[in-house]
Chains A and B, each alone.
Chain A
Amino acid sequence: MNWLAVTPIIVLLVLAGVVALADLWVRDPARLLTYNLTQGSLGIVGVLQLWFFSEGMTHYAMQRMVVADPMSHLLGLFATLAMMVTLVYARPYAASRDILRGELFTLSMFSLLGILVMIGANNFLTVYLGLELMSLSLYALVAMRRDDIAATEAAMKYFVLGALASGFLLYGLSMMYGATGSLELSEVYKAIGTGQINKAVLILGTVFIVAGLAFKLGAVPFHMWVPDVYQGAPTAMTLLVGGAPKLAAFAISIRLLVESMSGLAVDWQQMLIVLSVASMLLGNLAAIAQTNIKRMLAYSTIAQVGFMLLGLVPGVVSGNTVSAGNAYSSAMFYVVTDVLTTLGTFGVIMLISRAGHEAEMIDDFRGLARRSPWFAGVMAVFMFSLAGIPPTVGFYAKFAVLQALVTTNVAGLIWLAVAAVLLSLLGAYYYLRVVKVMYFDEPVDIHPVVGGLDVRVLLSLNGAAVLLLGILPGGLMQLCAQAVVRMFAT
């Protein structure tokens, strides 16, 4: 038993308990102690992840239920960072809306715990446990503003559809278990490799697993919850749902589809192509029609997820896995940079919001370039990044995925890349519209943009990161490639 491998998870669990207890004695309405304790705990977990990643070893723990490999450490590090950033952006927003309670911090930590468990899962049950831990925390977080009708409705939708998705996934996993007789990912992989298993059961299981994952990722046609939850939830909770959990959804997609079911790649790749093209088409088209910026970003997320899924498609080409490392690391780069940009976007939305005023409509950004040239610039950087215009990191994310498709030299995949770029052209329109509203229109709201120093500095850093990674993307690309290649090595 290798306890070392699960240290970050255990440390986070203990610290989350400490924070939950400590908060009972906090009388301060600003919850400064709880906040600082939470950020400190997350910082410790982040440092641990970084340390393990730099060692670059792969360990299994708890009867091979959990794996600690470079990919889990890297994604875990990013998820932890994303959670820290989210809490910085969320604190003033939550304080002015009377939802700055101890539960916000405890539940956030537990959802991160679920994320880390998912990222490090090596067993069907671990995947499911982590997923439920994360999801249940998030349902509660979305419902935290319980006197708000929209938020309550969003929480209900999220819960019902999320439970359905978990059901799909569990059903698929149980079929896999029934067919292969194992819950462990690598055992399932070997069993499928023997070719002795009833293909019909495997395919049926794959369908359910892919559907469950698509639900969690928010891919069309399993995307219905995304716009409602993004719009209805308080913006801080939207970010909690739309930030770090995306990394976890990506991680279990890799763990399940690639690590255990790459023998069935031909089948699930077909499904992903359909999901991805439908997501890009519907996401981009529906986003154009939105007037609410959170709902627009929800559809934009659907489109982005579609593009990311394209990166998983060229992993196995005619039974050959030469391009797998390239493809999966491109998808990973895509999802990491997408989370980075999403964090900043919602950060700006929360900054513009004031007590009693939600900056939810695109029109609330009218003339922002006059009210605050700096943050209008930061927001413009995020928008250009989401649209995939260089020199922002979003361009390299799209570039990485496109090159993964084109370098397979399969005509069908090259045409898929052409379709993807044309669909992203649709996307450019609505991102540009936000820039237009900020720069070309006169302000209607003349309140100066005020925010705490921490929020302003972090938002500026976030914008700078999107821009700097757009000028020098090589390092992060290399890290993603390393993580994925090491995963294959074991």
Chain B
Amino acid sequence: MPLLSLAIWLPILAGVLLLAFGRDDRAPAVRWAALIASIASFLVTVPVVTGFDNTTAAMQFVERHAWIGRFNVWYQLGVDGISLWFVPLTAFITVIVVVSAWQVITERVNQYMGAFLILSGLLIGVFCALDGLLFYVFFEATLIPMYLIIGVWGGPRRVYAAFKFFLYTLAGSLLMLVALIYLYYKSGGSFDILVWHRLPLPIDAQVLLFFAFFFAFAVKVPMWPVHTWLPDAHVEAPTGGSVVLAAIMLKLGAYGFIRFSLPIAPDASHRWAWLMIALSLIAVVYIGLVAMVQRDMKKLVAYSSIAHMGFVTLGFFTFNPLATTGGLVQMIAHGFVSGAMFLCIGVLYDRVHSREISAYGGVVNTMPRFAALAVFFAMANVGLPGTAGFVGEWMVILGTVKLNFWIAAIAASTLIWGAAYTLWMVKRVYFGAPANDDVRGLVDVDRREFAMLGVLAVIVIAMGVYPKPVTDSMQVSVAELLRHVAQPKLAP
């Protein structure tokens, strides 16, 4: 069975059908249809994880069909230990997003659900594509639904945020398109990413390619100083949009680094690793400090996402198996934790219609069950041992110590910054006496919201306590990647 194709096209098809046939006067049916479609799409990805062979670094579940014969482009899919977990993660987050929108979105429900289902399929396509052009098509196509999601269902400055999001990311990826075509030429007419991995290239070509990829992926991650679109996009996007943005879309950039930059231009990657490490550390420290002074909860979590993604890029560019695996684990953990954080903000926003920290205070008094979950996710965001947030950060720090103690020390300072901005927000929002009538009138989470947050909490604990299944499946692929990256592949 072509499982990966199914995982990509099932949600897209469902989304298109919803767009074509759904109407607002049939909103309940649309919601149920979307839920069933998203759960079915998630179930399809389960056999990919259970049937995955941990002992090989080769691509698995490979599908290969001729697509554009004239340019030797193939519809080629496959997953290895690096991309495996993003497939179920994306499908799962989509289920959560559908549930989170259940009562909140009342207008153009079919378009909202359809956009997220299509987006989910496209994102899975990015992680599975083994053909450069196919990757690019999926990578770019994700912009369209996200642009519409931010612009149609977003906040007051949604138009500005939507344009900034689209044009920023497009600017980065257009250079990547030229780089992909150049690789096509250099490899003698192939768009196969695995062929590109083996392709020897002179150092100046590698450096140019490295920077073309850098602009595309650094914008997406986002890395300092091209991160400014993210806080705007997060603040204006509807809750579901923020969740997908933080949980999945940011991962596209980091995934691009590990799938393209490192193996295709390993020598340039080594030469410019200092820049990547420096930018990552700036993200960890400086953005962490920026997060601390935010008044808007969503902005705070957005900046915290940038800081956490700094850990991922740091892990990748230390060229060390522990740190690289740690970066990957961090990507997945951050997907769950940041998604949950944004959902929590959504829960509050739906009731009070404010994201300002100062509009809250003492929420724990009126919403005890919700506050327990929210504080738990905040702890996970800080990196409390026993939660998913801890595992990745710990591995990255340990790996980095081997490279350079001081880099590791600066990176480890995130435990201070992260704790400072997260816990300070928790204190101001959740603890103390109820601050105003809005808070006094709050109603605790209903069963739908509790279930949605509860499932995420269980996963966050499970990953924190027993991350072995995840790390095991990555190990061989990461080792193979680093072995490949360690060897120079310069061409005269």
| A interface list, Cβ under 8 A from B | 369, 373, 377, 384, 389-391, 395-396, 399, 402-403, 406-407, 409, 414, 417-418, 421-422, 424-425, 428-429, 432, 435-436, 439-440, 472-474, 477-478, 481
Interface of A is mostly: helix
B152 contacts across to A, CB distance below 8 A: 369, 439-440
Complexed CA–CA distance, A418 and B177 (Å)? 9
Complexed CA–CA distance, A407 and B71 (Å)? 11
18 contacts between A and B (CB under 8 A): A369-B152, A389-B170, A390-B136, A390-B137, A399-B181, A403-B71, A403-B185, A406-B185, A407-B184, A421-B175, A425-B170, A428-B167, A428-B170, A429-B167, A432-B166, A440-B151, A472-B67, A473-B68
| B interface list, Cβ under 8 A from A | 19, 67-71, 111, 133, 136-137, 140-141, 143-144, 147-148, 151-152, 158-159, 162-163, 166-167, 170-171, 174-175, 177-178, 181-182, 184-185
A-B pairs, top 8 by smallest CB distance, nearest first, are A421-B174, A390-B137, A474-B68, A406-B181, A440-B151, A407-B185, A477-B70, A403-B181
B177 touches A440 (CB 8 A): no
A377 contacts across to B, CB distance below 8 A: 19
A402 touches B159 (CB 8 A): no
Complexed CA–CA distance, A352 and B68 (Å)? 36
The residue on B at minimum CB distance from A417 is: B178
B67 touches A391 (CB 8 A): no
B67 contacts across to A, CB distance below 8 A: 472, 474
B163 contacts across to A, CB distance below 8 A: 429, 432, 436
Complexed CA–CA distance, A384 and B170 (Å)? 12
B178 touches A406 (CB 8 A): yes
Complexed CA–CA distance, A418 and B140 (Å)? 17
Interface of B is mostly: helix
The residue on B at minimum CB distance from A409 is: B185
Complexed CA–CA distance, A365 and B151 (Å)? 16
B182 touches A399 (CB 8 A): no
- New A-B pairs, 8, CB < 8 Å, besides A421-B175, A429-B167, A440-B152: A377-B19, A389-B143, A407-B181, A407-B184, A418-B178, A425-B171, A432-B166, A440-B158
Complexed CA–CA distance, A390 and B145 (Å)? 12
A418 touches B175 (CB 8 A): yes
Complexed CA–CA distance, A435 and B145 (Å)? 12
B307 to chain A, nearest CB (A): 29
B147 touches A395 (CB 8 A): no
Complexed CA–CA distance, A204 and B67 (Å)? 45
A414 touches B144 (CB 8 A): no
The residue on B at minimum CB distance from A333 is: B70
Complexed CA–CA distance, A414 and B151 (Å)? 35
B158 contacts across to A, CB distance below 8 A: 440
Complexed CA–CA distance, A396 and B136 (Å)? 11
The residue on A at minimum CB distance from B171 is: A425
Complexed CA–CA distance, A89 and B486 (Å)? 61
Instruction: Indicate whether A481 sits within 8 Å of B70 (C-beta atoms), given known contacts A390-B140, A428-B170.
Output: yes
A425 touches B178 (CB 8 A): no
Complexed CA–CA distance, A395 and B166 (Å)? 16
B323 to chain A, nearest CB (A): 34
A325 to chain B, nearest CB (A): 11
B171 touches A403 (CB 8 A): no
B141 touches A436 (CB 8 A): no
B140 to chain A, nearest CB (A): 5
Complexed CA–CA distance, A85 and B151 (Å)? 33
A456 to chain B, nearest CB (A): 14
The residue on A at minimum CB distance from B208 is: A414
B171 contacts across to A, CB distance below 8 A: 422, 425
